[in-house]
Chain A
């Protein structure tokens, strides 16, 4: 979408702005619990565009406290409590919290003028929601540059955004969204995760070759690998 050569500079800037808003929204939904302000937006001006994108926010209708409470419980179960779908690149890539992927991502943030500051304990820079929000921020910078006719600056930030999406999100985030959506019990999160997956694939398909896209698709399809067990393998210690 953003690479479309027929778009005018104005159109491109407008589209970047829209992408910025979309990534910011997805990042916000995955990074923290829904609060009253977000709920108002989801029920109001965002209802129609979200519905078009496949997210029916009618599931958030009803008593505010109950809705927010249910959503918070689902958020914790999905992304916070032990046993959840750990939303961190480090966990997905290394099996441990706060490893090199967190450093890499933090460097990306710093190099682009952002610093990570957690709102709750136990949050790290490589949270998928924060990373999506960062993509949104880069889109925003690009949109501003285009609006100010700083074409070279826009190209430069577009290139950086592309690298970030491919290098830091491409090999795992869409697959993670699929897994998380599969176990989500709340329809809102199921739909938002599914939307996030679609948006990421769209983004990636605009950034890489068909061959690379197939490689990324395979990487994201990672499933459990069963190893053959030898029932005769026993030791005196009982192992």
Chain B
């Protein structure tokens, strides 16, 4: 080669090449690729000094991952996953990494504001937290005193509290119960409520935790696990572990080619709302071909295989093919694969359940796991594991009178409420409101027929006083009378636990920096308001808020939990962020290992735990094996052993739900054909979806995320588009019975030909300049504020179009879920004069939808017509009453 290395080029290549090829035989050097640290420490790139690491719990979305915030000079400069957290194992998603931008957002509300002009006019006066809490206290005290004077506790329900995301660990309930009001309205029916109501009567609280890591087969119905969905980050990690390391097969049913569908071994695009038909047909195959777990069904459910076989007889794969469009031969094949591959599990989240009759669909999917005996198995379909925390004493009792808003009488099975109905009920005079408070909530953007909420929020007769605790000027908050801004999640305290791993954990959200600019966390606001309402203690409110500050409140939660108490209670969590510490996350396998390197195994078969002699003392074993003590089921006897069983009245999995039957619903999982299935040939079903870098409504103001995703063209199949003369990028008009919107089209084969799909998170009319791209509308406003990112770095001029105004209200009469994917629309090329972003909708038409959806409720005529098979005394169904069945 050279004068110093006298070898021919050919010889050199041979020597080097051969050595490389037999590297293993030659032996390794002492050098290895540097192992990537999992985190836990960070340094200033300027000074080299270590940054302060403060553990916290994320709250950009609802997964509540554990994080470490790095603080330099009192400022959050970086976030990363907490390597000791069993759920997310040291990793955060894009949303979690960007969350610190919430803290320093120039469009954050930093001081209480009092409305000065007409509601929604945008005129405000700055006031102090002290003034703001005094104003709110006065309004609340007026209602309480009026209730006292009239001797009518129902008046207390005129104090209404609505939230979108309530992770306060019981603070809101404490406050409202101290007011004597039960009028608390969550957001769950626009989320997964019918999934829960499909599952919970069957096996106890909350949804499944799939052991993806150890499974061999996952049947995914309409869930986008790798991008969004419940426990997105933890589940995505484990699903990839299972697919790569355990060679698990993933089969996805979804009308849209999500990134999960695209990474599946097989993707099927069924007609929206037909997942239940597919699941029932699979169950039919499994039962008739005797692929089921006979012992599990007989011992651990309240039905027999024979009964199920008879019930499932009509649901043949051919029937399902007709409904869903999925070939019967594929349904048959996948049913056999699912039943014979062990372990296996299904997962579904907001696909099947977000339809009218979504609870039936969820119950049908759940049943597949039960009949194949995959419940609570390693690699199977497991119960959720979470940890609770005690509420500080004294605890206020619930209000004396049920609230029709919190527990609508026509939906007795909807144990997670029916929040979509609230504006309609108030407009129709079903409930009176004096003080309306909302927290982490944006229904004027996030709800179906969102224009109805705007109409309500503007109505000063129906809502005389509206208070927002938001630190962002959202579409809802801009319609408030008083804003008492909370801090961001990185500046506040909350107890936390989520079933994001099969090893339960308890975490803390704590201020990683002091509340910015002396802003005040919501918890402190509650303490102040309670003290001002009841300064002398005579109203019985103040005693429930005898905390000096938030830290003292947290100590009352954490300092007496057995085990944690011995480890240091609140102080342990403050230092570590999560408890218990199961072990270390192995950097190569991502498994949690003990000091010997062995994986710390989760516990399986929770229902098989045996009751102790102490447990059994005074208990009675019923003829069906149910073990009852003090009037409550504590377990069940199977093969002579006393097990804790499942969280149901029989302690078994109740595939047959008596509670459903009581109101004329089918007690067993069934398929009900939806009106959308009978749409005309040229109509389409509108579906919406979340994307991997945004929550539904709260992240469009985060700069990192807005740059990644900010516009949302409607997905349409090429065949459908061609038939309508529509080309990729065209301006289109999407029309539902409520009105229309004008948007652009993205023509792709990744969507069912009968579906048009539009993502959420875009098209804001509020939520700060970035979310609205206000600067593009008007140069003066562009420069206003002088944010150089807005001025120089926003390269896009399209904020997207929000689909929710044209989505019709339609709820599942069982679980109460909004049928997000049941709106039938027409799509055409935009008409002359149409402009991108135009939205025109009718409140009157939405009111008709409300009347229509009530016809599906258990008292309605459509309900009766759709459930002729149910053997119930239709003339003597229970009378509607607030709180019944909830």
Which residues of A does B touch, CB under 8 Å? 33, 69, 72-73, 75-77, 80-86, 88, 91-99, 103, 118, 120-124, 172, 175-176, 179, 182-183, 222-225, 227, 229, 234, 236-239
Contact = CB atoms under 8 A, between A and B. Distances in A.
Given A121-B520, A176-B786, A82 B791 contact: no
Contacts of A236: 748, 750
Contacts of A81: 109, 113, 122, 124, 473
Contacts of A88: 106
Contacts of B141: none
A88 to B, nearest CB: 8
A238 B744 CA distance: 10
B784 A122 contact: no
A77 B115 CA distance: 11
A111 B422 CA distance: 57
Contacts of A172: 786
B746 interface: yes
B783 A91 contact: no
Contacts of B750: 236
B709 A239 contact: yes
A121 B791 contact: no
B789 A83 contact: no
Contacts of B104: 96-99
B784 to A, nearest CB: 5
B249 interface: no
A224 B775 contact: yes
B774 A83 contact: yes
Interface of B: 73, 75, 101, 103-113, 116-117, 122-126, 128-129, 472-473, 516-520, 691, 703, 708-709, 711-713, 715, 729, 746, 748, 750, 759, 768-769, 774-775, 779-793, 795-797
A179 B784 contact: yes
A92 B803 CA distance: 34
Contacts of B786: 85-86, 91-92, 172, 175-176, 179
A238 B129 contact: no
Contacts of B711: 238-239
Contacts of B768: 82-83
B788 A73 contact: no
A172 B371 CA distance: 70
Nearest to A68: B125
A98 B516 contact: yes
A103 B788 contact: no
Contact of A76 (B103, B126, B783): B126
Given A73-B125, A91-B785, A97 B517 contact: yes
A95 B787 contact: yes
A223 B791 CA distance: 7
Given A81-B124, A96-B101, A97-B516, 4 more contacts: A82-B473, A121-B112, A224-B779, A224-B783
15 contacts: A33-B126, A76-B123, A76-B124, A80-B113, A82-B472, A86-B786, A88-B106, A91-B786, A97-B106, A98-B517, A122-B111, A122-B518, A176-B786, A222-B783, A239-B709
B790 to A, nearest CB: 7
* Central interface residue in B774, B786, B796, by most chain A CB within 10 Å: B786
Nearest to A94: B788
A172 B783 CA distance: 12
Contacts of A118: 517-518
B784 A97 contact: no
Given A77-B123, A86-B787, A229-B797, A99 B75 contact: yes
Given A76-B113, A98-B75, A121-B518, A69 B108 contact: no
A82 B784 CA distance: 11
B238 to A, nearest CB: 24
B785 A84 contact: yes
Contact of A92 (B712, B715, B788): B788
Q: Which 10 A-B pairs have the closest CB atoms?
A: A122-B110, A96-B104, A95-B789, A92-B786, A82-B107, A122-B517, A82-B473, A122-B111, A91-B106, A73-B116
A69 B125 contact: yes
Contacts of B781: 83, 183
B106 A86 contact: yes
Contacts of A234: 729, 746
A229 B787 CA distance: 21
A82 B105 CA distance: 10
A188 B45 CA distance: 46
Given A69-B116, A86-B787, A77 B122 contact: yes
Contacts of B472: 82
A85 B785 contact: yes
Nearest to B798: A229
B518 A96 contact: no
A96 B702 CA distance: 11
Given A121-B129, A238-B711, A82 B792 contact: no
Contacts of A123: 110, 517-518
Given A72-B125, A98-B104, A229 B113 contact: no
A75 B113 CA distance: 12
A91 B790 CA distance: 11
B517 A238 contact: no
Contact of B126 (A72, A175, A176, A229): A72
Most chain B CB within a 10 A radius of its CB, from A88, A98, A176: A98
Most chain B CB inside 10 Å of its own CB: which residue of A33, A95, A122, A175: A95
Contacts of B748: 236
Nearest to B104: A96
Contacts of A84: 784-785
Given A97-B105, A121-B520, A224-B783, A238 B126 contact: no
Nearest to A95: B789
B6 to A, nearest CB: 55
Nearest to A227: B795
A182 B780 contact: yes
Given A91-B786, A229-B797, A82 B109 contact: yes
Nearest to A72: B125
A82 B122 CA distance: 10
A83 B774 CA distance: 9
A86 to B, nearest CB: 5
B128 A120 contact: yes
B836 to A, nearest CB: 13
A73 B123 CA distance: 6
Contacts of A73: 116-117, 123-125
A48 to B, nearest CB: 30
Contacts of B780: 179, 182-183
B559 to A, nearest CB: 30
A120 B746 CA distance: 48
A229 to B, nearest CB: 6
Contact of A224 (B103, B123, B519, B791): B791
Contacts of A224: 775, 779, 782-783, 791-792
A87 B792 CA distance: 19
A68 to B, nearest CB: 10
A237 to B, nearest CB: 8
Contacts of B790: 95
B73 A103 contact: yes
A75 B126 contact: yes
B473 A83 contact: yes
A124 B473 contact: no
Nearest to B123: A73
A73 B128 CA distance: 15
Given A97-B516, A172-B786, A238-B713, A82 B108 contact: yes
A120 B784 contact: no
Contacts of B792: 224-225
B94 to A, nearest CB: 13
Nearest to B110: A122
Contacts of A237: 691, 709
Contact of B107 (A75, A83, A85): A83
Nearest to B708: A239
A40 to B, nearest CB: 20
B715 A238 contact: yes
Contact of B106 (A95, A103, A229): A95
A120 B787 contact: no
